[in-house]
Amino acid sequence: MRDPDKPQQIIDAAVRVFARKGYYNSRVSDIAKEAGIAAGTIYLYFRTKDDILVTLFREKMTEFVGTVRKAIADEPDAVAKLRRLIHLHFELLEGRPELAEVVQVEQRQGQKFFRGASAHEISSYFALIGSVLEEGVAEGRLRPTLPVKIATKTLFGAMDQMATSWVLGKRGYQLADTADAVADIFLQGVAVR
């Protein structure tokens, strides 16, 4: 009679705890308390503390990419898709501040050690962005000589930094309000001259 959404509750609790104190400064017992269960119970569902972070990140990232992929499919052209993607990137983070905190800050700590673990999920987001850029080039709306990989990283980096600044700045403004400005700069930057 293992509770089927206990792992989910643990992950959700972990998101809140990691957001508050950071991965390395969070105790497994903190997560347990937050989830309203005993510390030992966590080990019925996760092998180690690392496993919680890896699972959390995998799950959230997969969900994130899936949501974005679905949403932009409706858009008529690559430029519209990119605009939608940027908006969505910001809106999704803004709507879940604690998740944003973890993804923006904790992921980084992880990058060094969970590199392998999350590489697949991250690269699928890069692949999504890259494919939209390719599409834009094919449509003739983006520069034919555009170095797509570099443009992908540029856009991701720009969005990411906006999000990080917003998180570190205690979220004192609406992140999504900056989406148009970012899109304007990037889209003009990659457009045909």
Contact set for a copy of itself, span 33-62 (CB under 8 A)? none
Which residues of the chain form contacts with DNA (CB under 7 A)? 1-3, 6, 26-29, 37-41, 43-44, 48-50
Q: Provide the token pair at 182.
A: 């970012």
Does residue number 116 form part of the binding site for a copy of itself (CB under 8 A)?
A: no
Rounded Cα distance, 103 and 97, in Å: 10
Nearest residue to 85 (alpha-carbon basis) of 99, 68, 100: 68
Q: Is 144 in the site for a copy of itself (CB under 8 A)?
A: no
The secondary structure of residue 191, as a DSSP letter, is B
The answer to whether 57 touches 121, Cβ cutoff 8 Å, is yes
Q: Does 190 bind a copy of itself (CB under 8 A)?
A: yes
Residue 85 C-beta: closest distance to DNA, Å: 36
Which CB atom, from 38 or from 168, has the smaller least distance to a copy of itself? 168
Among a copy of itself, DNA, none, the one that 3 touches (CB under a kind-dependent 5 to 8 A) is DNA
Going by C-alpha positions, the residue among 114, 119, 104 that lies closest to residue 157 is 104
Cβ 168 to a copy of itself shortest distance, Å: 6
Shortest distance, position 30 Cβ to DNA, whole Å: 7
CB-CB contact of 65 with 124 (8 Å): yes
Q: What is the Cα–Cα distance from 109 to 104, expressed in whole angstroms?
A: 10
Residues sharing a CB contact under 8 Å with residue 166, sequence separation 6 or more, in sequence order: 93, 94, 100, 173, 175
* Binding partner at 33 among DNA, a copy of itself, none, C-beta below 5 to 8 Å by kind: none
Q: Which residues bind a copy of itself (CB under 8 A)?
A: 22, 24-25, 105, 108-109, 111-113, 115, 147, 150-151, 153-162, 164-165, 168, 178, 181-182, 184-191, 193
